């Protein structure tokens, strides 16, 4: 049997301390926040939630698209800080676009109230031609030569 003295105890303390330090450091890095989020709700003129609205976020990086949930909510998470534009559009409604600034660790709430799209219609009216329905004869005169 091999017997270790206080050296073995020293190694255990060092290894325990190192393992604890790694756990604490790892959890600190996991909680590091490097961006923000854009969240919001889309409603119509009456204040009711509008599901199925295409919400597009443009700015840093490629555009991102989110379709609103049944409660009209949308969200873009973990965005790099900077300036963005958010656009909401749905057939039958006028599209709405707003700028938004994303900050580190902050939620930017952008709510949209969609208005019905104004459409024009043109109605053409004219009088129909007069037709003599009393006479059903057709004829022509052919002269003798």
CB 57 within 8 A of CB 83: no
The dihedral over CA atoms of 90, 92, 97, 103, expressed in degrees to the nearest 10, equals -30
CATH class of segment(s) 33-113: mainly beta
CB 111 within 8 A of CB 98: no
| Model confidence band, residue 45 (pLDDT cutoffs 50, 70, 90) | very high
pTM, 2 dp: 0.60
26-35, 117-126, 134-143: the lowest-pLDDT one: 26-35
Domain regions of the chain by residue span: 1-32, 33-113
Bridge partners (DSSP) of residue 98 are 86
39-43, 53-57, 121-125: the lowest-pLDDT one: 121-125
């Amino acid at each position: 049997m091999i017997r270790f003295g206080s050296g073995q105890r020293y190694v255990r303390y060092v290894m325990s301390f190192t393992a604890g330090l790694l756990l604490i450091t790892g959890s600190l890095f996991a909680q590091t926040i490097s961006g923000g989020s854009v969240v919001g709700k889309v409603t119509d003129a009456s204040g009711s939630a509008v599901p199925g609205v295409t919400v597009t976020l443009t700015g840093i990086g490629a555009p991102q698209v989110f379709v609103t949930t049944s409660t009209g909510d949308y969200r873009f998470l973990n965005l790099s800080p900077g300036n963005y534009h958010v656009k909401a559009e749905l057939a039958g409604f006028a599209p709405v676009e707003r700028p938004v600034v994303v900050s580190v660790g902050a939620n930017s709430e952008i709510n949209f109230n969609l208005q019905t799209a104004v459409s024009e219609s043109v109605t053409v009216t004219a009088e129909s031609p007069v037709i003599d329905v009393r006479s059903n004869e057709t004829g022509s005169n052919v002269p003798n030569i």
